[in-house]
Amino acid sequence: MIEKIGIFLFLMLLSTNLWSETLEPSLAGSWYPGSKKELRDMLTQFFNNVELGKNKDIVPFGLISPHAGLVYSGPIAAYGYSLLKNGDFDTIIIIATSHRYNLGKISIFSGDKVKSPLGTSEVDNELAQQLIRQHSKFESIPQVITNGENSFETQLPFVQYQLPDVKILPIMTATNDLSLLDDLADALVATIAESDKKIALVASSDMAHFHPYEQTVEMDHHTIDLILSMDLDALKTDVMKGKCEICGFHAIYPFMKVMQHFGANKPVMLAYQNSADITGDKHSSHIVGYSSIVFPEPDTGIQRNDENASSDEELYSHEEKKYLLDLARQSIIYFLKNGKKLQPEEPGNKKLLEERAVFVTLNKDGSLRGCIGHMHAQMPLYEAVAQMAVSAAFEDPRFSKVKENELKDITIEISVLSPMQKIDDWKKIRMGIDGVWIKKGWRSGVFLPQVATETGWDRVTFLENLCAHKAGLPANAYKESDTEIYIYQVEKFSEEEVD
């Protein structure tokens, strides 16, 4: 008997594990057709009725899309999703709000697949794990997204219809904590900036709920105006006051912060209707609004971390990077042979003559072999690189001096810093984007932005390590009012990247 119970429990656990790896549809046959043919026919009709005019060629970076039963919100959702075909996307991140759970957490689905009657899509588990590692309150919580959660499930068929091979990453905001949503936005920024994938984001949200027709239209247009003006603070205030109603505000909030960061700040209104426009019953007091808003990809494309590095957003060219890397290596070789520092000739390139703060990092067989730099600009860029290369090789107290026979195994990396910016709130630090210099009294310490990416630390762990292990301060010193925190960005390049 005990043996049979053991086998039964094992089978239950196995079944639960398999169930959690693939997200099955639970609203098929109610919120939308349950058969593949009927659902495809419905979507085809929706997309055929879309009239985008001058907006037809927009490549979206973000969409706000409604999530009601498809007979109601589907015609509007099709407007935004019809633009997905304009981009060669690898992953679509869908940010949705849980209607049933407020757990004070963010659920990032890390199963293998998600299904609808149209088929099965792979989950971008790589991005999911990168996000989960960034915060202790980012978890994969299956019950938040299963068993009738329309905010995600109604989006999936539209993506699959347009891009059947794209990967999906479902994110559920099971929280009302805006600071945690700030953390989600920061984590998304860092993850997208580090990724080579072509990514688009969707925020799932309906608008005003259960008001008379004229009031619904007035509220919704006020909400849309705030979104189109990118006035997130006013939107937040009016949601709190009840002047705006967005059932997916806690999805739209981090979504818009990501849009703001990457410069996707010119949203376009594509379509609006409400449930009374569909049913014809404008005397109802239970009307729900639906809108489709696209955030076009910035003209320059999505800015990765290195493109955010300099204050004037101007990248160093391939030739300029190669010159600096060659100069760093030649400076080390010259010191080994002559016992003194190289005095390089002044280059004819104005950008290389600008005063810049620089770190030079040496790596050997994948491990750190030396790293020295200046936090503030003290000399022209080319001179700083030559001097810091020698310092990294021969003056880093953590390592022995570099020997000539090691050079062939050493890779040089240069980090050019933007000017320092003092911040008044440590929560403003963008993990993987901002480097941090922390200072209290005569003690100070610095981490480059890539420390967060390489370790997977969340913001608190990052700052605790910076305080305790780099600055020699108490781990929580970053929270104290007399501690100064400065952020900067980095343009980083290495010999591995620049031939």
Confidence of residue 8 (pLDDT cuts 50, 70, 90): very low
pLDDT surpasses 80 at 340: yes
Query: Among the listed ranges 1-5, 158-162, 403-407, 412-416, which one has the minimum average pLDDT value?
Result: 1-5
**Per-residue DSSP letter, 355:** B
CA-to-CA distance for 440 and 437, rounded, in angstroms?
Answer: 10
Confidence of residue 305 (pLDDT cuts 50, 70, 90): very low
- The candidate with the shortest Cα–Cα distance to 261, out of 211, 221, 223, 295, is 295
Amino acid 414: pLDDT: 93
Residue type, 29: G
Domains defined for the chain, CATH in brackets: 2-296 (3.40.830.10), 308-494 (3.30.700.20)
CA-to-CA distance for 460 and 476, rounded, in angstroms?
Answer: 9
Confidence of residue 467 (pLDDT cuts 50, 70, 90): very high
3-state class (DSSP) for residue 82: helix
Amino acid 309: pLDDT: 37
Confidence of residue 443 (pLDDT cuts 50, 70, 90): confident
CA-to-CA distance for 106 and 171, rounded, in angstroms?
Answer: 7
Amino acid 299: pLDDT: 57
- Angstrom distances, CA of residue 382 to CA of 309, 326, 331, 354: 17, 11, 11, 9
pLDDT surpasses 70 at 405: yes
List phi, psi (to 5°) of 458.
-80, 175
Confidence of residue 394 (pLDDT cuts 50, 70, 90): very high
CB 188 within 8 A of CB 260: no
CA-to-CA distance for 107 and 179, rounded, in angstroms?
Answer: 16
Does the pTM surpass 0.75? The reply is no
Q: Which residue has the higher pLDDT, 392 or 499?
A: 392
Exposure of 104 by Cβ count < 10 A (0-12 exposed, 13-18 middle, 19+ buried)? exposed
Query: Which residues of 352-434 form beta strands (DSSP E)?
Result: 357-364, 367-373, 410-417, 421-423
Exposure of 4 by Cβ count < 10 A (0-12 exposed, 13-18 middle, 19+ buried)? exposed
Segment 85-107 shows an average pLDDT of 88
User: Which strand (E) or helix (H) includes residue 113?
Assistant: strand 113-116
Amino acid 235: pLDDT: 86
CA-to-CA distance for 11 and 396, rounded, in angstroms?
Answer: 57
Residues 251-266: pLDDT tens digits?
999 999 999 888 888 8
Amino acid 315: pLDDT: 63
Structure tokens at 255: 């979504």
3-state class (DSSP) for residue 206: coil
pLDDT surpasses 70 at 20: no
Amino acid 392: pLDDT: 93
pLDDT surpasses 50 at 196: yes
Confidence of residue 361 (pLDDT cuts 50, 70, 90): very high
Bridge partners for 421 per DSSP: 487
Amino acid 9: pLDDT: 38
CA-to-CA distance for 212 and 298, rounded, in angstroms?
Answer: 38
pLDDT surpasses 90 at 164: yes
Percent above pLDDT 90 for the chain: 42
Helix-helix angle 70-81:36-48, to 10 degrees: 60
pLDDT surpasses 60 at 393: yes
Percent above pLDDT 70 for the chain: 92
User: Which strand (E) or helix (H) includes residue 259?
Assistant: helix 249-262
